[in-house]
Amino acid sequence: MSDEVSQADDDGIENFLILQTNLHPPYQELHNGTLGGYSVSVLNCAFERIGVGYGLAVAPRQRNRELVRNAQADGFFLARISQFMDEYAVASNPLALEKWVWVSPSRRAVEASNVKVPKPDGVATIGAILGSNEAEWLSEEGYTDLVRVPSIASLVGQVAAGRVDYALIDKHSFEIARNELGIGAEQFLVQFERYAPLVVYFSKRYVAKFPDLIDRLNTVLEFCETNPMRLEPWERDAIERVHLPAVRQLARSPDLIRNVRAVMERNRMPADQRRLVDEEWTTMARLGEPSMKARAVLGNQLSEFLRNFQLTSGGQVAEAFVFDVYGQIIGMNRLTSDFDQSDEPQYQMAQNINRDHALIDDIRFDASTRAFLSQITVPILDPDSGQTLAVLTVGLDVSAALRPES
C-alpha cells in the first residue's frame, strides 16, 4: 500500500482523515509516483476550501471497502451509490459521472442480426473488473458466473480475444485502456447501459465524530468540479429529437405565456439593487434557504406552473426556470443557485435574432437538484409581436432522460 498525503492546515489537524482509493484512470492515476487524476484534483480543491487535511492510501477496491466497513479507514472513493454501502458509510455528493457501456467483439454485430445487451438469464459470458462498481451492480442485477479479471487491460484484452462475450465498463476508462493496448476501435462494439454517479463514502464512525464535514464538503464541491462531461453525438441527437421539441412546445404553451405575463418585471432593476438581491439570494441558497426575493418568486403562479410541469415529467426533468429579458429569475420549480442570469450563456437567448435557436449544455452536476443535468434553453416569444418575452431553461436529469429504455 502506498500513501500520498496532502498538506493539512493547522485547523484541520483534529479532523485529519485517511481516504482509501484505487488506481482508476482518468479518475485516480499515478504521475511520476504521485497520485493524481480528476477526482483527486476535485478533492484537493474541496478539502483546501474547508481547511481539512487528508491523506490517501491506495489499495484494491474490495480491501478499501472492507477497511471502511471495519472502521479501519475514514472513507473511500470513487464508489457508486449503493444501499449496501449505506449500511456502514455515508455518501457525499457525486464527484464524477461514469458512463457504463457493454463492450463486445465487433464480429458479434455480424453474427447477430439484432445485437442486444445481455440479460441476466442469458448464455453469454459476462466480464467485469474484480471488485469494481460494475461487478457489484451486475451481481445485484442477477448476473451469475461473472468472469472477474484483475485489471481493465486484462478485461479489454479478453474481449478482443473473444474469451469474454460482453464486458461492462466505464466508457472513458475503456477508451484509455484500448489505446494503451494499441487495439483499434473497429474491433469492438460499444452499447450504452447506464450512467453511474460516483461519490466519496465516509465511515459512520468518522461522521459521528465530525458530523458537519460532509455538509461542508458538499457545499464547496460545486466550485471545484470544473470539467463538464461532453455530450456525445448520440446524446445530443437524442436530446434534439426527443426533448427539445417538448421544451419548445412548453415555451409556446398559452398557459406558460399567460403565467409569464402575469409575473413579468416591467422595469430593469437598478444595477446596485440587483447586485444586492443576487448576493442575498446566492448566500442563502448555499444554505438551502430562499431569500425574501426568492420566496416571493417561488410563491408566484409561474413557479407553481413549472412545478406541475416538472412533476409530470416522469423524473426526466430536474429543474425548470424562467428569467426575463434583463436576466432576472421570475419563475422556478425549485430554488436556483442565483437570481441574476445576465452573466450566463443562456442570457444571450433573450436577444438572439434567430428565434429558432436553442442552447443545449454539456452535462454537469447540479448541487441544488443533486442530479447530473443537461440544460435546454429556448426563448419564450410573444405570439402577437414575435418579440422575446422571457427565456425558459429546462434541466434534464440525464440519468433518467437518456437511459436506453427512455
Assess if residue 286 is contained within a domain. Answer: yes
Total domain count for the chain?
3
pLDDT score recorded for residue 10: 41
Instruction: Give me the CATH number covering residue 73.
Output: 3.40.190.10
CB atoms inside a 10 Å sphere around CB 164 = 24
pLDDT score recorded for residue 353: 52
Instruction: Return the closest-CA partner of residue 100 out of 234, 193, 230.
Output: 193
| Residues paired with 331 in a beta bridge | 322
Q: What is the distance of C-alpha 190 from the center of its chain?
A: 21
Assess if residue 348 is contained within a domain. Answer: yes
pLDDT score recorded for residue 92: 92
**Structural domain range at position 335:** 233-401
Q: Angle 271-273-275 (CA atoms, 0-180°, nearest 5)?
A: 70
**Rounded-to-integer distance, Cα 405 and Cα 311, Å:** 20
Q: What is the distance of C-alpha 104 from the center of its chain?
A: 26
Instruction: Give me the CATH number covering residue 305.
Output: 3.30.450.20
Tell me, yes or no, whether 267 and 332 share the same domain. yes
For cell 434553453, the residue is 377
Tell me, yes or no, whether 181 and 208 share the same domain. no
pLDDT score recorded for residue 27: 87
pLDDT score recorded for residue 4: 45
Q: Which residues of the chain have pLDDT under 70?
A: 1-14, 108-115, 225-228, 266-267, 349-355, 368, 404-406
**Rounded-to-integer distance, Cα 122 and Cα 116, Å:** 11
Assess if residue 406 is contained within a domain. Answer: no
Assess if residue 337 is contained within a domain. Answer: yes
Tell me, yes or no, whether 203 and 192 share the same domain. no
pTM, full prediction: 0.73
Tell me, yes or no, whether 127 and 202 share the same domain. no
Tell me, yes or no, whether 79 and 216 share the same domain. yes
Q: What is residue 35's three-state secondary structure?
A: strand
pLDDT score recorded for residue 9: 43
Phi/psi-derived region of residue 288, left when phi > 0, alpha when psi is between -120 and 50, beta in every other case:
left
Q: pLDDT tens digit string along 361-390?
A: 998 887 767 788 999 999 999 998 888 899
